[in-house]
Amino acid sequence: MSKADDKDELPDDVDEAQAADAEEAAELSSSLLDDDDEDAEQSDSINVIPTATTLDEPIPALREVRAQLVNVNESSDKEKGDEPETVVLLEDPEGLAPKAAALSPWAFKLATLFDGQRSAKDAVKEFEARYGQGVPAEQALSLQNELDKAMFLYSRRFERALKRHIRGYLDKEVRAAVHAGTSYATDPEAARETVRGFFSSPDGPGSLDDLAEGEIGKTHEVLAAMLPHIELTQGGATYAHGYYELLKKSQAEVFFILGVAHQALSDGLYYVSTKDFATSLGVLKTNKPIARRLQTAASVEGPVAELAHRTEHSVEFQALLLQVMAEKAKRDVEIVPVLCGSLEQYILQKVDPLQAPEFVVFTERLRKELDNCKKKWCVLCSVDMSHVGPEFNHSTMIDEKLLLPVERGDRRLLKKLEELDLEGFYNEIFRTENSRHVDAVLAMMTMLKATEGLLKKGKLLHYDQLLKNGSHSAVSFASMAFTK
C-alpha cells in the first residue's frame, strides 16, 4: 500500500485474516483467564469445543502451529531406488504441546480443514472436492483423536491444560529462560562464550578482553540505545556494537527495556511485566516498584500483560547480553521489562498516535520514572527494522538486488532517529504505511518522547541485513547509541 511514487519501497500486501485471528485469540485469552469451573462441560470459550464422538459433530479447530516438511529416512538406499519419506512436522510455538507431531502431507492437508465447524463427514467431503481423493470419514475422526492427545486442537483437553499453564505462569515470580537451549546454550559457560564471541567476530567491535578496566563506564553519556532482537547468532555483531558502546559510555544500573509484543493477545500499546527474568546465566532482577507503576499506567490488564512476555524473546535476549555486560563491568543491574504493541490501527485509520491517550499517559509516566529514578538509568529499545518478502506477507521475492532499496528506506528512518526527530520518524512510517513492516516504530517513538530534552543526538553504530534464501525474505537490524 505504499505510495506509487516511492520507487524504492516494497508493496505492503496486508493479510486481512490477521486482524480476525488476533480478535479470536483475544476472546480465547479472556475466557481462559476467568476463574470459572475447570469442568470441561462448563466452559463457554468461543473457540474451544469438545472433541467429536460421532461423524456428524464438529471437530475442534487446528491450533496455529509451526509446520515444516522434513525427510525422516534420508539414509534410504538410493541405489535401490528408495526415496526419502517426507512428513510434516508440527511444533507448538507456545510450548504447550509436550512434543512435536509428525503427519503425512495428506493427513496435514486434512487437518487444516478442521475449523471448529466442519464434522468428520464435512471435512472429508471438502478434502475430496479440493484434492480429488476420497477419505473415509472415520479416518478424519481418528486424526482428530491423535491431534487432540498431542494438544494441537482447540479442544477441551487443550483448554484445561492451557488454564493450568496460565495460572501456574502467573503465580511464578520468575519468567523462565524460554529460549535457552534453542536460541542460546543452556550451559552458562557456553552461553557466556557465545556472547563474548560476538564482540571478537570479524564484524564485531573488538574483544571484551581488550577493553581495559579504565575504559569501562568512564562516562555516563549514553542514555538510550537501539539494539536488535533478531536471533542472537544471526545478529551477534550488531548486538555487540551496541553493548560495547554501553560498556564504555554508560554507568546505568537500571535498564528500561522496550521490546516488541509479537504474540500479544490484545491490541494494547504497552505490556509491562513485574517478573524477574531468568537466562542460562541466572536470574536478572526486575525493579518491581517501577514496573508496577508502569503496568498501572499502561492500558493493558496485568495478567494479559504478563502473558505477552511468556514466550517473547525481545526482552530475554537483552537480559542475557546485559548479564554478560554486567559481569565485565562488575556492576549489578536490574531491568524494567516493557513490550510495545502495534501502531497499525493508527496508520490504517490515519490517526496520530502521538495524541492517543494510551501513548500520552504511558510516556508521561515513563518520563516521571526516569526523572525520579534514584539510580542511573538507560532505555534500551529491543527492535528490528524491515521485514520483507513472502514470509512477511509480501508478494515480492527478495534477492540481493532488492536489499539495496530496503537499506535506503531503513537509512531514511535511521537518519530521523539520529536527529531525534520523533515526528519525522513517524511521518516516514505513515507516508509508506509501514510497507516494510518495521517493528521498531512504537518502541523508538516511546523512547524519544520519554527522553525529550535529555538527549542531544543519536549515532548509528552498525547496520546489517539477513537474507533468508529459503523463503526469499529478509530482515534488517541496527544498533544505535543516544547521548546527552
- Taking only the tens place, the pLDDT of each residue in 210-225 is 999 999 999 999 999 9
Residues with Cβ within 8 Å of 229's Cβ and at least 6 positions away in sequence, in order, are 259, 260, 313, 314, 317, 318, 382, 383, 384, 477
Rounded Cα distance between 326 and 322, Å, is 6
Distance of CA 228 to the CA centre of its chain: 12
Rounded Cα distance between 192 and 185, Å, is 9
pLDDT (0 to 100) of residue 19: 38
Q: Which residue has the cell 532482537?
A: 229
pLDDT (0 to 100) of residue 74: 53
| Three-state SS annotation for the chain | CCCCCCCCCCCCCCCCHHHHHHHHHHHHHHHHHCCCCCCHHHCCCCCCECCCCCCCCECCCECCCEEEEEECCCCCCHHHCCCCCEEEEEECCCCCCCCCEEECHHHHHHHCCCCCCCEHHHHHHHHHHHHCCCCCHHHHHHHHHHHHHCCCECEHHHHHHHHHHHHHHHHCCEECCCCECCCECCCHHHHHHHHHHHHHCCCCCCCHHHCCHHHCCCCCCEEEEEECCCCHHHHHHHHHHHHHHHHHHCCCCEEEEEEECCCCCCCCCEEECCCEEEECCEEECECHHHHHHHHHHCCCCHHHHHHHCCCCCCCHHHHHHHHHHHHHHCCCCEEEEEEECCCHHHHHCCCCHHHCHHHHHHHHHHHHHHHHCCCCEEEEEECCCCEECHHHCCCCCCCHHHHHHHHHHHHHHHHHHHCCCHHHHHHHHHHCCCCCCCCCHHHHHHHHHHCCCCCCEEEEEEEEEEEECCCCEEEEEEEEEEEC
- Kindly state the greatest CA–CA separation across the chain: 75
Rounded Cα distance between 343 and 438, Å, is 11
Q: Are strands 254-260 and 377-382 parallel, antiparallel or unpaired?
A: parallel
Q: Domains in the chain, start-ordered, CATH in brackets?
A: 49-154 (3.90.930), 173-483 (3.40.830.10)
Amino acid code (one letter) for 210: D
Rounded Cα distance between 317 and 333, Å, is 15
Rounded Cα distance between 112 and 62, Å, is 6
Q: Are strands 254-260 and 276-279 parallel, antiparallel or unpaired?
A: unpaired
pLDDT (0 to 100) of residue 299: 84
Produce one character per residue of 80-102: b if its CB has 16 or more CB atoms within 10 Å, e if not.
eeeeeeebbbbebebeebeeebe
Rounded Cα distance between 108 and 102, Å, is 9
Segments in the chain below pLDDT 50: 1-46, 76
pLDDT (0 to 100) of residue 396: 92
| C-alpha pair distances (Å), 15 with each of 12, 20, 377 | 9, 10, 40
Find the angle CA(217)-CA(419)-CA(267) to the nearest 5 degrees.
90
* Inter-residue contact 65 to 79 (CB < 8 Å): no
Count of Cβ atoms closer than 10 Å to residue 165 Cβ: 15
Amino acid code (one letter) for 8: D
Rounded Cα distance between 205 and 201, Å, is 8
Rounded Cα distance between 290 and 369, Å, is 7
